[in-house]
Amino acid sequence: MAQADIDRVMMIWRECLAAYGGPFLFGELSIADAMYAPVCTRFNTYDVKLDPACAVYTRSILAWPALAQWIADAKVEREEMDELDVEF
């Protein structure tokens, strides 16, 4: 099941990269790339084997400064947040 989902994502990426010339899905960085950024981090975390075009795309997203900042901020975030520690 997971492999079918991975294959579908790679097919979408390949089609967009071919149609718009990359390096991002629609040529220039767009909301579509932001939407797929968490997918790229998961593929990286789980060492998913990607075809060459998808691997280059994933590396481009992981090198995106905004994503790098998001990851850095997440690493220093406290495990628990007081404002979320409310009893219902």
55 has pLDDT over 80 = yes
Measured from the Cβ of residue 85, the count of other Cβ atoms closer than 10 Å reads 7
Report CA Rg, the chain: 16
Tokens of 28: 């220039």
Higher per-residue confidence, 83 vs 40: 40
Where are the domains positioned within the chain? 31-75
- Calculate ∠ Cα 5-66-28, nearest 5°: 70
Give 88's pLDDT tier (boundaries 50, 70, 90). Answer: low
Least confident of 20-24, 30-34, 67-71, 83-87: 83-87
What proportion of the chain, given as a percentage, has pLDDT over 70? 91
